[in-house]
Structure 1
Amino acid sequence: MIELDKQPEVRIRAFRAVDDPESSQKFIDGHRKVLEVHGVKKVTSANHAWAYNPAVFVIIVESLDGKKVYGGARVHAAGGTQQLPIEEATGFMDNKIYDLVKKLSIDGTGELCGLWNSIEVAGLGVGSFFATRAGAVITEQLGIKSLFALCAPYTVRWAERVGCKILTEVGNQGTFYYPKLDLLATAVLLEDTSTLEHARGSEQRKIQELRQNLQQVTTEVSPGRRIEVEVEYDLLLPNIKPNEFKDPFSQISAS
């Protein structure tokens, strides 16, 4: 349990899903509970097949002893054993998403998805904003130039803060009714993960600083409640092959 009478402490850790099945299962269990609280039973990014996809990387927000999971997100690189979740979720409504993913995958593309946080850390930003930022950080290690996301209304602002722009060429000016007819989702795209051209200046600096020092302990300030949170970052991903996620569809057709 996060105690707000003293400075909260969490670890934000990144790993390839297939390398840590136990932590992947903790992520699945926590995400499912949050979705059920909100009455959502069917979300493509909540499909558990990702846990066996070598192109999926998990960002988990946990207690320092690793026993409690507070939230997190995932980055799916295009070219794994599945389509990107945004393709599965919206392709039947607007098939332009398929060509867009294929085009951007030449330079490496992926998707930030599965964003969630538990009720006990609501307002601290650790499972939403800090996980979004960490997703942008690890794209450099993965060698992917662009990053999609399908955002709930309350997470669009976090995506825009790190440089995403609304993808107006799909859906209804970028919006879809998903995962239920009474819920609206917005497709966004971070066009250049290297330059972060459209990100806030403070976010550009923070993301680049984390990329230069992937393992560090620092004090963050939650963007909502302005509460200080001590964060132990461990965003180093071992065993990433050079160009592993560049132009994956030509690699598939050639094999």
Structure 2
Amino acid sequence: MSITINVRAFVAPDDPEACMRFYEGHSKLLEIHFGIAKITSGNIDWLQHRNTIVVIVEDETGTKTYGGARVQVADGVLPLPIETAIGKYDPNIYSYVRKGSAEICGMWNSKEVAGMGIGSLILCRVCVALMPQLPVDNVHVLCAPITTRMGKRVGAVIDKSLGNEGTFYYPKDDFIATAMVIDDIYNLPNADPSEKELIDILRANPTQHRQEKGPKGIFDVNYQLEVPNLHQVRSL
């Protein structure tokens, strides 16, 4: 499959049309392929939330969405999805999410690009690469079993202080989710060295064109990761 994709980051309310494409694509994927009609990271409140950064994967025209993810900064206004998801199982999460916290959430990719590494490679890497632009120093992520490996690669560790050694039943009783955290988003001491090198390349030059290699071969990516209007983003 020969494809060129654009990966860009923006403050959610600054591009309502792209946010709706993100929301509709994510919702459709969850419902059709996983039978999940409603999850906390699918809440629509983030569309008007200036402390939510959207990372979207589009075609070259910017009209077709292949996937995306969100980075939500804890601000005491809109709860992080991980707070809403696991609060009923472990109320410690509420005091745990503190000043300087954020969450990577709502990550998905369409079936059209499944297996290319858009979610497992590109989105994980990009979300972590964005972190120094934000008023945060740690980031949480709630992973499905298949994405725990991805989290570890970019420097996240299982947060055993929460739930049952870091695990919960979510979003349904037959699904296991794992709470993970990156406590040092700047130095990423637990990241794979090769992955940290790629993250550092994106941090040093947020706007660039690269050829990336995924499970299905090489594809071209235009990165636009300098987030506009970021001065308005505030943490707790």
The TM tier, using the shorter chain, reads: over 0.9
Corresponding residue to 1:189 among 181, 189, 198:
181
State the shift of 1:149 in Å. 0.3
SS for the counterpart of 1:206 is: helix
Aligned 8 A contact 1:15 1:58 in 2 = yes
For 1:89, the equivalent position in structure 2 comes to 85
State the match for 2:226 in structure 1. Answer: 236
What RMSD, in angstroms, separates the aligned Cα atoms of the two structures? 1.3
Structure 1 residue 244 displacement after superposition:
3.0
- The answer as to 2:22 corresponding to 1:30 is no
C-alpha distance in 1 between matches for 2:217 and 2:135: 33
1:42 to partner: Cα distance:
1.6
Unaligned runs of 5+ in 1: 249-255
2:7 matched to which residue of 1?
12
Matched, 1:177 2:174: no
> Structure 1 residue 80: deviation in Å?
5.5
Taking a change above 3 Å as real, the CA distance of residues 15 and 187 of structure 1, as seen in their structure-2 partners, is same
How many residues align? The count is 235
Q: Which residue of 1 aligns with 2:155?
A: 163
Alignment of 1:10-159 (within 5 A): 10-37=5-32, 38-79=34-75, 81-102=77-98, 105=99, 108-159=100-151
Q: Distance in 1 between matches of 2:162 and 2:229?
A: 35
The residue type equivalent to 2:54 in the other structure is: V
Tell me how far 1:143 sits from its aligned partner. 2.8
Displacement of 1:242 after TM fit?
8.5
Pick closer, same or farther for the CA change 1:213–1:180 going to 2, 3 Å: same
Q: Is the CA contact (8 Å cut-off) linking 1:137 and 1:210 kept in structure 2?
A: yes
Which residue identity lines up with residue 180 of structure 2 in the other structure?
V
Shift of 1:11: 0.7
Q: Deviations over 1:53-105 (max 9, x none)?
A: 11000000110101210111000000063110000000111011111112xx2
One-letter amino acid matched to 2:16:
P
Alignment match, 2:199: 207
**In 2: Cα distance, 1:227 partner to 1:171 partner:** 39
CA contact (8 A) 1:57 1:76 kept: yes
Letter matched to residue 7 of structure 2: I
Counterpart Cα distance in 1 of 2:134 and 2:171: 28
Distance 2:222 2:166 in 1: 35
